[in-house]
Structure 1
Amino acid sequence: MEFPGKIWNQYKQLLQKQFIDSLDNNIRDIDYWRTRLFMQFILYTFPVGIIVYIPSMIMSVVADLPVVAIVDTFVIILITVLALSRRIKVQTKKYLLIGCLYLLSVILLVFLGSMGPGLIYLIALSILVVLVINKRVAYISVFLNFLLYCLLALNLFFSESGIKFFESYSFGAWIAVGANFLLINLVTVASIALLLEGLQKTILNEKMLFDKLKEEGVKLNEAKEKAIQSDKFKSAFLANMSHEIRTPLNAIVGFANLLARKNYDENQKQYIEVINTSSSQLLNLITDIIDLSKIEAGAVSIQLEKIQFKVFAYSIITSMKQLCPKYLEFRHILNEQDLKEELGIDVHKVSQVISNLVTNSFKYTKKGFIELKMMLTADKKSLIFSVTDSGIGISKENREKVFQRFYQEDAMHSGVGLGLSICASLVKAMDGKISMESEIEKGSTFTVELPNNIEKVTKRTLPSQETDSTDSQTLTGKKILIAEDDEQSFAVLREILEEEQYIITWTNNGSDAVMQAKNNKFDIVLMDIRMPQTDGYEATRQIRCFDTVTPIVAVTAFAFNSDAERAYKAGFNDYLTKPVDFEKLKSLLKKHIN
């Protein structure tokens, strides 16, 4: 069975090369399918014709019909040529085959009469013409069929015509057969032509839709690429903007905090407080913009931690009291029973939401109070906190707008209107709900309810439980390598660390930092990220090739989560963003030097 199958496949491939390979697969109109149909017709007619040829020849010899035998032989030879020839064009092959089969039909009609397949062949040929050529040629074939029928019928008026088809027909029978022949031939061809026209319209419509979809797909891909590129540019811009603003802010905040430790008169202390307040506002603005970009990119990740309600609540209250303007009263309400419970929350994001709500109330309240209320629901499964103020209030028609980006109830107040929008987005990311109530000139209340995921998190080390067995005396004389290209940022670090009696070595580029770490023994390395020659990532990777023990802490103005993740992968032990928080820095030093 393998040999015949192999021959058949080779024969099929030969026809495909002649018929299909010459077609444009991108233009699959009705002519394309007509050519494929013609190929299928040739594919099966050639082998079947050879099989039928032998009994047909025997019948012709027995019936003494040499003309039929000659025509049969001619037809089979022509089909063979059409099947195997590569030089003859497809359209020419169609007309040659139709003409040859038409001749065969006429011969069969003349010599075999009503018992032969002549009329059936003529009808079948008209159908074949409409399928593989076109409607116009098919109607011409119908007309020729009827004309041939009429010409042959003239022999009825001759006593001995020699045409067997009409020997058994009377004049009435001739009319009846002719009418049915014409009707069947015409209706069949017309019906198939109508179907093919509908198919052609469908194919054209599909092609138009396909081309349109293809064009839209190209436009969509272009728009997608532009969006990706735009997002990359935006991320790069935000990262650079954050870095370039945080770097000088580090010096401003750092030196302002150092000055605040000195004994100055009240006016000078007030000036320092103004510097700190203004720099904090600028830093908060940068943080808001970065948070907004993360929210837009869908890059907000929730990091659940377990923390005591008491520790969390009082840390928030303490920081909010420090930020509260002197002309306002800051109140807080806590449930004593709740203070004993534990929370399973994203501490940083919940703190940010509360801070934004309280800061917003500071902005729109010129006298009176700000009240922060924190509590757990009766089943302890939700944390509820609210911020109430005695400020200007929000009009009824504008309450839906307060959570929109860049919206401000009063244009006379400073800010860009991002705080409440970020709150709403963060609350949604934490599967919580936020609502508000407000009355003009009486104040507003913002309420947030968040799930307490205490069962989903592991125990977090609480600040009150952290061991701090190492005091400043035991750290005296510890050696620190500082890799920092910005002199002002280094000066801030130097002032802080020299107060703690650390021994400092400074370098302003990554390459030298690697050499210093290789040739000297340090207790810890404070490494900036963006530096000349070799950046902090690469410098740390190189240091880790020969030193896997010495702690390396990134002290950088890059504040994105992706920057921290990249730093940890490069081999950093910890990550501290600028402006540097003195207490956090001291805590990190004690933690890692220990």
Structure 2
Amino acid sequence: MPTRIKKFIIIFILGCNFIAYSQIEDTKDSIQVKDSIENYLINASEAINTARLSTALYNITQARELALANQDKTYRAKTNRVLAELYLELGDLKSAKEQIKKAIEIQNEQQNEIALANSYNVCGSIHTKLKEFTDAEKHLQLASSLIKKNNLETLEGPVKINIGLLALEMNQPEVAIKHFNNGLPKIESLGQSYYKAKLYTNKAKAQMILGSLDEAIATNDLAMLIGTEMGYSEIQSESFELYSRIYEKKEDFKTSLTNLRSHQQFKDSLFNINKEIIAQEARAKLNIGDDKVKIEELTEENKQQQKSLKLGRLTTILSIALITILSLLTLSLYKNNNLRARANELLQNKNTELILAKENAERASEAKVQFLSTITHELRTPLYAVTGLTHLLLEESPTPNQKEHLNSLKFSGEYLLSLINNILDLNKLEANKVEIENTSFNLQKRINDVLIALGKSAKDRNNKLHYEFDKSIPSKLKGDPLKISQILINLIGNSIKFTQNGDIWIKVKMINHIENKVFLNFEIKDNGVGISDKKQQSIFENFTQGSVQINRKFGGTGLGLSIVKNLLSLMDSEIKLESELGQGSRFHFDLKFDVFEDVVSNYQEEAKKIDYSVMIDKKVLVVEDNKINQLITRKILEKNKMVCDVADNGDIAINKTKNNEFDLILMDIHMPGISGIEATKQIREFNTEIPIVALTAVTLDDNLDEFYNNGFNDIIPKPYKTEEFFTKLHKALSKKTITS
């Protein structure tokens, strides 16, 4: 065989092998392309289910490009169907309808029944959303027929859900539940978690419409569980919305609002994503069309030239940018170093000043706390003698004239105690930490008591008090009577102080009465010296008076109006002032009160119910170092037929308790030697049954736990009201009687 022929044969064989190899490679490439498209569409469907719509759009775009480039109608139709699902999720029903129509046209041409079953199912869902119920029913029936004919198990559950949704939209909740229940076994057997969650959500809606609210909650719980575990954001959002509607029907509006807010949070986040997706879709429409394919006219050489040109331009731009940035960075670092050095030095100086100021403030605060602790006890101890002796004198059958004076003295003592507490707690007032009580009282009587207490001061300055009280105001109100008294005493006292040979008007009138609430206006007006415009701006500040001359002439602390302002602020009101030098002043404010409805909770009413026979012949040990206080407490107890013994300090109290039988111990706290707390701790070591009540002048606001933890059964602050005193004694003795 000639050599040329051999060469030709060899070349021919190599050529055939090359062609065959190329065909094999082309087939492999085609399979790989189809696999890629299929993967993109699967990823897109999963992303739609989990509300990752931007991811879904990306995968659809990639699948569509490959399908168009390879002129593959089958996958173009599949892409159109998945894109219709995305538009349906976005709420763009018009675009969804257009895309599913294109998919069905191609699949009808190809007579692809499996693909048509999917598309008819999606088409039915779109028509349901558009309220086109006839078309929806038609397409869902076509889908069901093809699913049954081709034994498409994976579509049996989803189409049942869509048929149920159609029934639900047509206001047939019983029919909807029937279809949902029919589809559930197949969905569960195939592990279709998304469709299972969707089924439960819509079944719960149907149950809610039928009024089975508890069943609806239970079914919605199942949907929420799957949605949370699988990360189905749209399912979670729908479940929260459904919870909100169900609990609204149950009139549990608080739970309804909580779930509505959770639903809104999901919707807000999804909406932001949707805006981005819609923008991306718009861009995609510009770059991808059904009639476009990739441009094949560009040669590889042109592509390389374009790449080189772009790379060169990019390199030049980056080089210029890098040089500019480095230059600016160097300049910035130089300036920053100088600024940082100066700033560090300034900060160090300021930090040193702040540390010194902080230490000084802490020392001042500690000194203030120590002073307040000491002055509290020193002020309350003599005040106890005043209130105690007043009570004893009232019990001695005084004449009517004496009784009026003693009641005035008693009221003044209570007011003085309240004033002491408010002065000592002025910082708490300003920090809004003082609590407002809510007890029943007679406002008219309360103001009468204030006027009686201030009557002598007014008479001494030859002032006339004019009192007008609106008769339509209910006799019993609920509020804080002590703070009302304090406000009025400060304001009326202020008018008396700055008025000579004049008149003072006190007016209380009703503004409005709505159901069980009354709105009252208080006015205190005088024709005294008045206040200048300049001083009106600062008159309500702490320790402030009109001038140094006024302070020397009239005296006072300058705290009265500051306390009034703070107290009214706590009661959601404010003091208003109208004044003119030489023409007098007018203070007025509004307050809201509840009308009292026979709810008794104060010590006066409780004291009326006390069985005083429980106290007869009971042995009480009074532990008190102040002789006057000993005398007062002893007389009060013996007047009620109780046997009283006295101990001057804690050590004596411990010994007397060991050697004698007592029914009750009244224990002072601050005493020479060991304190009342330490004495109580030692008594509790050998006697845990005897009631021990703290009778103390210390401030209790922050120390209650300390008293109870160290063995006290109860606490009576001095000076006390007699009603409170006997109520707590009766309570302690009654418990002991029951125990023994």
**TM exceeds 0.5?**
yes
Task: Please state if 1:447 is matched with 2:588.
Answer: yes
Task: Please state if 1:392 is matched with 2:392.
Answer: no
Q: Distance in 2 between matches of 1:453 and 1:262?
A: 37
Q: Which residue identity does 2:531 align to in structure 1?
A: S
By how many angstroms is 1:435 displaced?
1.2
Alignment partner of 2:578 out of 437, 442, 449: 437
Q: Deviations over 1:427-458 (max 9, x none)?
A: 22332222123455664432222454799x99
Q: Distance in 2 between matches of 1:198 and 1:339?
A: 75
Q: Deviations over 1:287-337 (max 9, x none)?
A: 4531324335x26232442x34x5355345335434432726656544455
Alignment partner of 1:321 out of 452, 455, 464: 452
Q: Which residue identity does 1:317 align to in structure 2?
A: N
By how many angstroms is 1:273 displaced?
11
Q: Deviations over 1:337-387 (max 9, x none)?
A: 5416753x4454344323332333343345544525264633365643424
Q: Distance in 2 between matches of 1:262 and 1:342?
A: 32
By how many angstroms is 1:527 displaced?
1.6
Q: Distance in 1 between matches of 2:399 and 2:600?
A: 43
Q: Distance in 2 between matches of 1:535 and 1:459?
A: 40
Aligned residue in 1 for 2:567: 426
Q: Distance in 2 between matches of 1:283 and 1:257?
A: 15
Q: Distance in 2 between matches of 1:276 and 1:465?
A: 18
Q: Distance in 1 between matches of 2:400 and 2:473?
A: 41
Task: Please state if 1:492 is matched with 2:632.
Answer: yes
CA gap 1:474/1:198 in 2 versus in 1, 3 angstroms: closer
Q: Which residue identity does 1:371 align to in structure 2?
A: I
CA gap 1:463/1:554 in 2 versus in 1, 3 angstroms: closer
Q: Deviations over 1:73-99 (max 9, x none)?
A: xxxxxxxxxxxxxxxxxxxxxxxxxxx
Aligned residue in 1 for 2:375: 241
Aligned residue in 1 for 2:668: 528
Paired residues, what number? 404
Task: Please state if 1:510 is matched with 2:650.
Answer: yes
Aligned residue in 2 for 1:482: 622
Q: Distance in 1 between matches of 2:464 and 2:433?
A: 34
Q: Which residue identity does 1:431 align to in structure 2?
A: D
By how many angstroms is 1:528 displaced?
1.1
Alignment partner of 2:474 out of 317, 332, 339: 339
Contact 1:544/1:571 (<8 A) preserved: yes
The higher relative CO (CA closer than 8 Å, separation ≥ 6) is in 1
- Look up the SS of the partner of 2:425 in the other structure: helix
CA gap 1:323/1:524 in 2 versus in 1, 3 angstroms: farther
Q: Which residue identity does 2:524 align to in structure 1?
A: T
Aligned residue in 2 for 1:562: 702
CA gap 1:252/1:385 in 2 versus in 1, 3 angstroms: same
Q: Distance in 1 between matches of 2:604 and 2:390?
A: 29
Q: Deviations over 1:28-83 (max 9, x none)?
A: xxxxxxxxxxxxxxxxxxxxxxxxxxxxxxxxxxxxxxxxxxxxxxxxxxxxxxxx
CA gap 1:449/1:551 in 2 versus in 1, 3 angstroms: farther
Alignment partner of 2:539 out of 402, 411, 424: 402
| 5+ long unaligned stretches in structure 1 | 1-187
Compare 213-222 and 199-208 and name the one that shifted more. Answer: 213-222
Contact 2:525/2:584 (<8 A) preserved: yes
By how many angstroms is 1:202 displaced?
0.7
Task: Please state if 1:553 is matched with 2:698.
Answer: no
- Tell me the C-alpha RMSD between the 2 structures: 4.6
Aligned residue in 2 for 1:295: 429
Percent sequence identity over aligned pairs: 30
By how many angstroms is 1:199 displaced?
0.8
Task: Please state if 1:377 is matched with 2:501.
Answer: no
Alignment partner of 1:538 out of 669, 674, 678: 678
Q: Deviations over 1:145-203 (max 9, x none)?
A: xxxxxxxxxxxxxxxxxxxxxxxxxxxxxxxxxxxxxxxxxxx9999678435413313
Q: Distance in 1 between matches of 2:468 and 2:704?
A: 36
* Counterparts of residues 298-313 of structure 1 (less than 5 Å): 298=431, 300-305=433-438, 307-308=439-440, 311-313=442-444
Contact 1:483/1:526 (<8 A) preserved: yes
Contact 2:408/2:453 (<8 A) preserved: no
By how many angstroms is 1:240 displaced?
0.5
Aligned residue in 1 for 2:491: 357
Q: Distance in 1 between matches of 2:609 and 2:592?
A: 36
Q: Distance in 1 between matches of 2:696 and 2:480?
A: 24
By how many angstroms is 1:566 displaced?
4.2
CA gap 1:382/1:469 in 2 versus in 1, 3 angstroms: closer
Contact 1:372/1:388 (<8 A) preserved: yes
Compare 360-369 and 419-428 and name the one that shifted more. Answer: 360-369
Q: Which residue identity does 1:415 align to in structure 2?
A: G
- Look up the SS of the partner of 1:449 in the other structure: strand
CA gap 1:259/1:469 in 2 versus in 1, 3 angstroms: closer
CA gap 1:191/1:392 in 2 versus in 1, 3 angstroms: closer
- Look up the SS of the partner of 2:542 in the other structure: coil
Q: Deviations over 1:260-296 (max 9, x none)?
A: 7779999999999999999889767644531324335
Contact 1:393/1:442 (<8 A) preserved: yes
Compare 582-591 and 409-418 and name the one that shifted more. Answer: 582-591
Contact 2:622/2:646 (<8 A) preserved: yes
By how many angstroms is 1:552 displaced?
3.4
Q: Which residue identity does 2:562 align to in structure 1?
A: S
Q: Distance in 2 between matches of 1:202 and 1:504?
A: 81
CA gap 1:387/1:550 in 2 versus in 1, 3 angstroms: farther
Q: Which residue identity does 2:488 align to in structure 1?
A: I
CA gap 1:320/1:549 in 2 versus in 1, 3 angstroms: farther
CA gap 1:248/1:329 in 2 versus in 1, 3 angstroms: same
Aligned residue in 2 for 1:196: 330
Q: Distance in 1 between matches of 2:382 and 2:466?
A: 35
By how many angstroms is 1:416 displaced?
1.2
Q: Which residue identity does 1:223 align to in structure 2?
A: A
Aligned residue in 2 for 1:223: 357
Aligned residue in 2 for 1:180: none
Q: Distance in 2 between matches of 1:272 and 1:346?
A: 23
Task: Please state if 1:213 is matched with 2:344.
Answer: no
TM-score (norm 2): 0.46
Q: Deviations over 1:531-584 (max 9, x none)?
A: 233322333445556666654333222235224564355454444443454454
Q: Distance in 2 between matches of 1:312 and 1:277?
A: 14
Contact 2:667/2:676 (<8 A) preserved: yes
Q: Distance in 2 between matches of 1:565 and 1:354?
A: 35
Q: Which residue identity does 1:238 align to in structure 2?
A: L
Q: Which residue identity does 1:301 align to in structure 2?
A: V
- Look up the SS of the partner of 1:433 in the other structure: coil
TM-score (norm 1): 0.56
CA gap 1:463/1:529 in 2 versus in 1, 3 angstroms: closer
